[in-house]
Structure 1
Amino acid sequence: MVVEILSKFPVKSLLRFRCVCKSWYELFESPSFISKHLKAGNSNTRLILRYVDSSDDPEYPRLRYCLFLDPTLANISLEEDLILLIPIEEHFRGPFEGLFIMFIGGDEIALYNHATRDLKFLPKLTLIDNLESIYTIMFGLGLDPKCNYYKLVYIVTYHDSELGKVLNDSRQVFIYSFSDNSWRNFQGFEFGMYDLDEVLDCTYHNGACHWLVPFGAFHPLCCHYVILSFDMSDEVFEEILGPNCLLEISPKHTVFGLYNDSLSFLVFDERESCFDIWTMKERYHWTKEFSTTPILAVDAPIGFWKNDTFFIRSNTEELLLYDPNSEEIIDFQHK
C-alpha cells in the first residue's frame, strides 16, 4: 500500500523522501519502483520539442531541445533549452522511460534524468573499428520484466570511406545491463537486409523494443518497411509485418508508436488529406481504428500524444495538435 501511494508522488517529493530512511532510498533506486512510478505518471507526461533554430546564424543552425512547462499544453511557453542543463553537447535522444540518451563520439554513452538532473556515464564500449568509420547508431531502452531491471540495446553500423559503402556484415550489437553496470556483445542475428540509417526512435512495449526499419528491396512479401522487435528478457530479435497500407504510403507520411497502449501507426493519406490510425491489439493482426475527416493545409504526422490526440505538421511546417473526438486543432506557433 505504501509503495502504491509513493509511486504517485512527483519526483521532487521522492528526492526529499530518500533521506527518511535507508529502505526508502533503496526502494526509490530499484528498477521495479522506477517502472511503477513511470506508469503512474504517464498522464502527466510533458512535451519536449526538438527543432532547428537558425535565428543566430542561418548558415549554421542549431538543434535545440525545449520543454513545455505545462503538461496539459494549455500554456505553450517553453522552459530554457534542455541542452543548457547538460554539460555536453552531443547526440541527444529521448526521453525513453524518463531518461535521455547522449552519445559522445560513438564509444561513450551518458544517461540523463531531467527530473533529478542526474547525469550518468556508462562504461566505454569496445568497438571493432575506429570511431571515424561509424555510420549509424540504433538503440533501445526498456525493462526486462523477468529480471525486473533495465537494459539498453546499442547497434553500431560501420562504413568504409575508401570503398564508399556501408559494411552491413560488420554490425555490432551491445547490451548494457543496469543491474551490474556492464556491457556485453550480442551475436546471432543477421542485419544484412535492414537499412538502419533511416531508423528513428525506439518504441518500448510489453517487454520488447520495437523499431520501424526499411527492408531490402527483395523481401519475399514486398513490404518495404517492417517492425524489428527485440525481447528484453529472452534477448531475441523478431520481424513483424505492418499493415498493408505501408506498401503505398511514403515513409514521411507514417509514424510508428503507442496509441492507447497498443503498437500503432499514424498514417497520412495524401489523396484524401486525412489521417488513419492502425493498431495491433492482437499479435500480428492490424486493425484500422478510425480515419479523420479531411484536414486542410497539413502534410505529415509527427507523433502520438495523450487522450487520443496526436501531433501533425502544417504545410507551413508549424506544429499542430489534433483531437479526433472534437476535431479541434491547436496551433503552437512553433516550427
Structure 2
Amino acid sequence: METPTSLISLNFQKKKVAIWNPSTREFKILPPSSVQRPTYPGLTCKHVFFDCGAFEFDFKTDDYKFIRFVTLCYVDSECGIESPEVSQVELYSLKCDSWKEIPSPNYSPLDYCLSNNCLDGICYWIIATGNSPYEKVMILSFDMANEKFSVSPILEFVGFFSKTNINVLVFNGSVGVLVYPVEGIDKSFDLWVMNGEEWTKQFSIESIPGVVDPLGFWKNNELFLLNTNYEVVLFDPSTQELKVLGINSYLDHHREYVSLFFYVESLVSISGIQEHKDHIIRQLVGDASKNLNRNIDQVDTKYDDG
C-alpha cells in the first residue's frame, strides 16, 4: 500500500499552485515564485512552463515541501528565432511559506502531472537518455530532507522508450515501475520493483481491453485504470474482472491530468481558507464502493484567480 499523505498539492493550469487538506476542506494558494529567471543579451524570455511537480513531507525538518521543474523558452529579440530551452528547479516550503531555487540536474522528467511517486521523503520520476528512437530509461530521485538529486541505473528490461510507456509508482512500500506498450487499447502490464540496486519482476497482467492509462494499485494487487471513456475502472487480476466505478474524470480529452492519490485524514492546519460549499461536487460511488471497503468521493473544486 502506498505511503499516504495528509495534504495534496494542486496545480492550476500550471500558473498557480495550492495545497489542499481534503479532511478539513482547507486550501492555500501558494505565493508566486521569487526565483530569479536568468537573462541573456539579445534574448527575451517568451514562455515559462511548470511541470513534473511532487509534494512530500520532510520528516527531518517537520515540513511539507513542493518541488516543480521550470522550463524557460527564449527567443532572439530581433529575428524571433527560438533559443535552446533553459531549465530551473523550484522548491516551496510550507513552514517558510516561500520558494527557493534548487540546482537543476542534467535531466528533465517525463512525468508531467502529479502522481503517487513519493516514498519516505524521496520523490521519483522517469527520465530518458539517448536519441530517438533508441532512448533508454533511468530513474531520477530527489531527497526532500537533503534537497539533492540522484540517478538510478538504466532499466535494461524496459526496452526502447519510443515503444513503451513507463510509470514510476510506489507499490507495497517499494519503488516500482509499471511498463506497458504505447500502441493499442488492449494493454498488458509488467510491474517491476526496486530491491536495493536490483529490479525484480513482481507480476504481469495480460491484455486488458479498452483502457488507456494506469492510475495506481489498490489492495490485493487490484489496479486502477482509465478507460477509453475517461472513466476510472478497477481491474482484479485474481478474477480478471474489470469493474466500472462510476467515476468520470470530467476532463474531456485531457486524460494526462488524471491522477490517483492515497491520503490519511489529518487536522494539520495549512493557514489557508475554507472551500466554498457551492464549489464542491461530491459523487458517491455505488456498488463498486463496497469492494473498496469505503466510499470514494469525487471532488471537483473550482477556484477563480483571486
Instruction: Please indicate the TM-score interval, normalised by the length of the shorter structure.
Output: 0.5 to 0.7
TM-score relative to the length of structure 2: 0.63
Deviation at 1:176, TM superposition (A): 1.8
Match of 2:148 among 236, 258, 272: 236
CA distance in 2, matches of 1:104, 1:156: 14
CA contact (8 A) 1:176 1:183 kept: yes
Q: Which residue of 2 aligns with 1:116?
A: 24
Structure 2: any 5+ residue segments left out of the alignment? 39-43, 250-306
CA distance in 2, matches of 1:248, 1:113: 40
CA contact (8 A) 1:208 1:231 kept: yes
1:37-79 CA deviation, whole Å, 9 max, x = no partner? Answer: x96xx5xxxxxxxxxxxxxxxxxxxxxxxxxxxxxxxxxxxxx
CA distance in 1, matches of 2:20, 2:244: 30
Deviation at 1:310, TM superposition (A): 0.9
Match of 2:57 among 143, 147, 154: 143
Match of 1:99 among 8, 12, 17: 8
Deviation at 1:246, TM superposition (A): 2.1
- Residues 236/165 of structure 1: CA separation in 2 closer, same or farther (3 Å cut): same
TM-score relative to the length of structure 1: 0.58
CA distance in 1, matches of 2:212, 2:105: 32
Root-mean-square deviation (Å)? 3.3
Secondary structure at 1:247 match in 2: coil
Match of 1:276 among 185, 190, 210: 190
Which residues of 2 match residues 222-301 of structure 1 at below 5 A? Answer: 223-241=135-153, 243-248=155-160, 250=162, 253-268=165-180, 274-280=188-194, 282-295=195-208, 297-298=209-210, 300-301=212-213
Deviation at 1:309, TM superposition (A): 1.0
Q: Which residue of 2 aligns with 1:21?
A: none
Which residues of 2 match residues 1-335 of structure 1 at below 5 A? Answer: 97-103=6-12, 106=15, 108-126=16-34, 127-128=36-37, 132-161=46-75, 162-168=80-86, 171-187=87-103, 189-191=104-106, 194-196=107-109, 199-202=112-115, 203-217=117-131, 223-241=135-153, 243-248=155-160, 250=162, 253-268=165-180, 274-280=188-194, 282-295=195-208, 297-298=209-210, 300-307=212-219, 308-314=221-227, 319-332=232-245, 334=248
CA contact (8 A) 2:8 2:55 kept: no
Higher strand residue share: 2
Secondary structure at 1:253 match in 2: strand
CA distance in 1, matches of 2:88, 2:144: 17
The AA in structure 1 aligned to 2:174 is S
- Residues 151/198 of structure 1: CA separation in 2 closer, same or farther (3 Å cut): closer
The AA in structure 2 aligned to 1:159 is C
Identify the structure with bigger relative contact order (alpha carbons < 8 Å, sequence gap 6+): 2
The AA in structure 1 aligned to 2:96 is D
The AA in structure 1 aligned to 2:222 is T
Structure 1 segments, 4+ long, off by >6 Å, are none
- Residues 245/303 of structure 1: CA separation in 2 closer, same or farther (3 Å cut): farther
Deviation at 1:123, TM superposition (A): 2.7
- Residues 290/195 of structure 1: CA separation in 2 closer, same or farther (3 Å cut): same
CA contact (8 A) 1:150 1:179 kept: yes
CA distance in 2, matches of 1:176, 1:208: 15
Deviation at 1:255, TM superposition (A): 2.4
CA distance in 2, matches of 1:104, 1:318: 22
- State the aligned residue count: 232
CA contact (8 A) 1:195 1:215 kept: no
CA contact (8 A) 1:264 1:278 kept: yes
Deviation at 1:166, TM superposition (A): 4.3
Higher helix residue share: 1
Secondary structure at 1:245 match in 2: coil
1:116-138 CA deviation, whole Å, 9 max, x = no partner? Answer: 22121323212416885213433
- Residues 104/135 of structure 1: CA separation in 2 closer, same or farther (3 Å cut): closer
The AA in structure 2 aligned to 1:134 is V
CA distance in 1, matches of 2:164, 2:10: 24
Deviation at 1:157, TM superposition (A): 1.0
CA contact (8 A) 2:109 2:126 kept: no
CA distance in 1, matches of 2:130, 2:88: 19
Secondary structure at 2:158 match in 1: helix
Deviation at 1:249, TM superposition (A): 5.4
